[in-house]
Every structure is written in C-alpha cells, then in structure tokens.
Structure 1
Amino acid sequence: MRSWILALAMVFPAGASLAGDDEQAALCAEAEERYVELFGEPSADAEGVRVVIMYEYSFCPREITVKVGETVRWVNVDKRTSHSVIVKGQPESDRAFPEEFVEFTFLTAAPAEEYLCGPHWERRGMIGMVTVIE
C-alpha cells in the first residue's frame, strides 16, 4: 500500500491541481472575458455586490465566501441559455436570460452550502458552493 501512495504522490505532487481544476480555471477565464466584453469592466469592479458569472453550465467562481449582509449577483453571460439560482431555504429565482442577472443578499451566517441552477444542476452539474461568515 505504501508504494501505491508514493506512486500517487509522484503523479499528483502536493499543490498540483487536477485536470478538472485546470478546465474550470480556463472556463472561468473565458467567462470573465465575455463579462468584460458585455459590460465593459471586470466582474470584480461591480459596485456593492459580489459577482458570480454563469457560463457554459458553470458558476465562476464555483465556490465563494461572503459576509452576512453581502449581496451576490449571478450574471448570465451565455449567448442562448437561461439560468436560475436556488439557494437553500429560498424559492428558485426567476430565469436570468443572456446579459441578465439575479441577486440574493445573505442575512445569516451559514456553513458551506450548495446552491444550484434550477434547470441545469442535475443533468449538467451546475452546482456552486457558498459559505456565509460573520
């Protein structure tokens, strides 16, 4: 067993990312480019809100940490697909069509919880994670 663990360590050294992480990073870079193309500024510059981009059946970034009282804006930068957001304990949002967004303000602290796109979470795996801190 020890040689098997050593072999894994050689294939995946500490700090290395898996192919899925690299693919997600590339996808999110593409999503950010599309955001800038549509809105003329980086998503990080959105005033007073935390932006999560919905693109190619993914949330970018996939995992976020926000403070109590912070608003998250999910922005759809796809060309033809609508998305929604379901946050635990809340009804599903309206659909956000291309270049539209939905927002939610987190009012209580919560450990890491999944949120998802109503029409795309099961077949497409469009699931994100949010942690709300004080």
Structure 2
Amino acid sequence: MWSNNKAKIICVALAAVLTAASGVQASDLTVSAKQKTICAKADARYQELYPNAKDDGVVVVKLYKYTFCPRNVTVKPGTTVRWVNVDKRTSHSVWLKQAGEAESERFFPEEQWEFPFITPGEYPYLCGPHWDQEDMRGFVRVTD
C-alpha cells in the first residue's frame, strides 16, 4: 500500500516536471508598486500579531489585501512554507493547482496553512476564491 506521504511526494514531483515543461517562471509573477506597498503593511501587521514569532526554519508568506507577501519565494528541498492570513476580515486558501494538490481549507484571519516542499521544481499557486478577479497568485521555486 502507498502511504499518503509517498503518494504526495510522487504527485508533487510529477507536477514539478509538468510545470517545468509548461514554461512557467517566477519572473511571470511580477510585483507591482501597489503589491509592494501592501506587503509592507502585511509585514507590519504580522509583527503586530506575532511580535515574538519564531519561524523555526519555515518560510512565512503573509496573505493580506488579496496579495501573497512575498509573491515569489525560493526554498531548499525539505523546507516548509507557512501561509499566514494577516487580513482583518477575509478568508483565503492556498491551491497548488498545477501540482495536482487539493485546495487547502479556507483559513481565516490569524489562521495559517503549511506545506512541505520536498522535490526541486517550480510551484505556482493561487488563492482559490481570489485568484481570478484579484490575481492572487504566488510562486515557490525549490532548488538545491
């Protein structure tokens, strides 16, 4: 029998190959001046909510005003990315759609969701309810 972890690793690895073949690049996700301003506010809100945060080797991406902050991250294999909702009212999700992963449950302000990136590759992701109208997308590059 396959364990859920083995199946997940194989699915993510296959998705990495397919994503690489599709030509999606982190540079496709440019960061506008508006997004930079939003991300500065997201960083301040995170510090306000979690003044003594110890991220213990995880990479934190904040969700604020329909924006992933930072929008593009590069991590080493085995790194966990933690998405933290620092909005005041809006719920979000994280969906590694091209990797074949199920969309996360919606998480509300001050809630979080994590995903371990095991296999090198490029992983575009989006917020299920907000990617289409708000262009709420992000990108994780996993490299040695």
Instruction: Name the TM-score, length of structure 2 as normaliser.
Output: 0.73
Query: Who is 1:96 aligned against?
Result: 107
2:76 to 64, 67, 70: 67
How far 1:128 sits from its partner (Å)?
0.5
Matches of 2:102 and 2:67, distance apart in 1: 20
Q: For structure 2, which runs of at least 5 residues remain unmatched after alignment?
A: 1-30
Equivalent AA in structure 2 for residue 40 of structure 1: P
**Helix, strand or coil at the partner of 1:86:** coil
Instruction: Name the TM-score, length of structure 1 as normaliser.
Output: 0.78
How far 1:41 sits from its partner (Å)?
4.0
The percent of aligned pairs where both chains have the same amino acid is 54
Equivalent AA in structure 2 for residue 23 of structure 1: K
Query: Who is 1:132 aligned against?
Result: 142
Query: Who is 1:15 aligned against?
Result: none
Matches of 1:22 and 1:95, distance apart in 2: 27
Equivalent AA in structure 2 for residue 91 of structure 1: A
Query: Who is 1:28 aligned against?
Result: 39
Which 4+ runs in 1 deviate beyond 3 A? Answer: none
Equivalent AA in structure 2 for residue 51 of structure 1: V
1:39 to 26, 50, 55: 50
Higher-Rg member (1/2): 1
Equivalent AA in structure 2 for residue 85 of structure 1: V
Matches of 1:70 and 1:110, distance apart in 2: 13
**Helix, strand or coil at the partner of 1:26:** helix
**CA RMSD of superposed structures (Å):** 1.4
Matches of 1:114 and 1:58, distance apart in 2: 14
**Helix, strand or coil at the partner of 2:93:** coil
Query: Who is 1:121 aligned against?
Result: 131
- Which one has a larger percent strand, Structure 1 or Structure 2? 1
* Higher RCO structure (Cα 8 Å, ≥6 apart): 2
